[in-house]
Every structure is written in C-alpha cells, then in structure tokens.
Amino acid sequence: MQIQYHIPVMPKEAIEYLNLRAGMRIVDATVGTGGHALKILEKITPGGLLIGIDKDKEALEITGQRLNDYKGFFQLLYGDFRYLDSLLEQIGVKKVDGILFDLGVSMHQLSNPQRGFSFQQNGPLDMRLDRESFISAYDLVNNLNEDEISNLLWTFGQEKKHNRIARFLVKEREKNPIQTTQQLAQIVAKVVGFYQKRIHPATRTFQALRIAVNRELEALSEGIDKAVELLNPKSRIVVISFHSLEDRIVKHKFKDFALKNKLKIITKKPLRPTKQEVMENPSSRSAKMRVAERV
C-alpha cells in the first residue's frame, strides 16, 4: 500500500514562530508522519535534536524512514504527550527550546479504512490513535446507555440533535451491534438529515467519539501544563488546533500561565491559514494557531 503522507498545516508559520536555529532541542509532540519534523530538522541541524512523540506506532515507523537523512539528529518516542515529562526523562532531557502540538487526525490515519476514523470509506468502528489502547468507538456506541451517549455527543461534538441520535443508536443496537463506520454514519444521517450542505450530518458524532476514545481534551490540558514547565526561558510553545473545544483549552491555559508570569502570549488572536493554503490543503481550513513564550 502506498503511504499517504499527511500534509503539515501552517508549516511556514510554525517554523517562523518557533524561532528555530541550529543547535536547538525541539519537541514535536504529535510527530505523525513527520511533515513538520522534516522542516524543523532543516533549521536546527547541524547540532540540533528533534524529539518526535506519537502514540501511533505505525506513524512512527514511517517517520523513522522518512527522516533517515537526519540520522543522529532526531529521536522518536512512542507515547502520549500528556506524559511529556516522563517521556523526555527516559532519554535524559530536562529542558527544551521549543514545543509544537499539531492536534487532530492525520491523513495517514483518515485514509486507512481499517482505522475507522472516517465515514467516507467503510471500516470497523475503531478510532483509536493508539492501537494498543483498550476502548474503541465500537465499545462506546454499543455499551454506553442513552444518557451517556447523548452527553458525549453534546460535550465533545456540540451536536444539537444529541438526544435523538442517542435514542436511535440504542434502538438500532438492540437489533444488531453497530460495527462499521458506514452503519453509524447512515443511522446518524437518518436522524440529522442533510440540512447543512458543507458538512456531512455524521461529522460531529464522529468527532465526539474520536475525542472520547482518545481522551484528547484531557491529554491536551495535561500536555500543555507539562510543556510549559519543560521550556527554557525565551522558548516557545506553538499549538495548532482544529475545533473550538481544543482552541478554548489552549486559549485559557495560555491566559492562566500568563497571569502566573510563566508565559508571554505572542498571538493575541489565533493565526489562521492563508487562502492559498486552504485552496491547496482543504483540511487546513479550520486550523487555528496560538503561540506563547516562556518568561
């Protein structure tokens, strides 16, 4: 199977705002298939070190091969960025000169039906970023009660028809378990209807399940806390988020740390991708970038 590399979002802005130079030690906390990592390595070598973290072992294997020209200047670590401090401790790193978080799901994951992230192709209802974790979307859809499903869809997907979708899912699974992405998408489409032209009616449901399966919002909150403590003075943290729940966490975390005089906020308002980038890479359209500097 041909590898589909994820196109990095806002790469020019990420590189510019990280203030990169040769010899720096930079963490890419969501290294994925290495799109940002390659561009970072161009700037920090010779002498620098890129530490790439991901909880998708497949992605790390691809990245290891892709960054081969920079052997000796990068280290890849399997794990969740919520444990940033202990991951860096394993390799004897106490402080770094910059940290990048590029949140969301990569094209490599979305394009593989077996990962179950997308309703565009049929696949098992999985959605685990870390395939070694225990709970999948199948478990949530088939085992949570109606109130729990409803609450999940509203909290993580801001889906207005959360109550009706939950009721329908519970009814449908009484006949047969809901096993595939297209089964789920069809059930949700029946309830929601195609009232919005721009997005598929199951988009918010899939987002909510993915966030819940991977505990993404908790991880982001903890990850930022750890990142701030690991930064050297004058070093920067750059976060690219893709929906309002993530962006809200980043915004409030940065504000809290600014009040404690630990961070200086560099971007008063989030940066957005250029029109040109959105044309070339439509998946960048909802991206927001926030940047802060360690005091």
Task: Give the fold, CATH level 3, of 11-108+216-294.
Answer: Rossmann fold (3.40.50)
d(CA 217, CA 22): 33
The pair of three-digit structure tokens given for residue 71, joined into one six-digit string = 């052997």
Cβ 64 vs Cβ 39: under 8 Å: no
Q: Which pLDDT does position 267 carry in this prediction?
A: 96
Task: Provide mean pLDDT across the span 87-107.
Answer: 91
For 150-206, what is each residue's pLDDT tens digit?
999 999 999 999 999 999 999 999 999 999 999 999 999 999 876 655 678 899 999
Q: What is the mean pLDDT of the chain?
A: 91
Q: Which pLDDT does position 19 carry in this prediction?
A: 95
Phi-psi group of 10: left, alpha or beta (phi > 0 → left; psi -120 to 50 → alpha; rest → beta) = left
Q: Which pLDDT does position 236 carry in this prediction?
A: 97
For 17-65, what is each residue's pLDDT tens digit?
999 999 999 999 999 888 899 999 999 999 999 999 999 888 899 899 9
Q: Which pLDDT does position 5 carry in this prediction?
A: 63
Q: In this structure, which CATH number among 3.40.50.10210, 1.10.150.170, 4.10.320.10, 3.40.50.10860 belongs to the domain 121-214?
A: 1.10.150.170
DSSP 271: B
Structural domain spans, the chain? 11-108+216-294, 121-214
Q: What is the pTM of this model?
A: 0.90
Angle (CA) 30-275-158 rounded to 5° is 55
Phi, psi of 273 (to 5 degrees): -65, 155
For 247-260, what is each residue's pLDDT tens digit?
999 999 999 999 99
Residue 171 CB-density burial (10 A; 0-12 exposed, 13-18 middle, 19+ buried): exposed
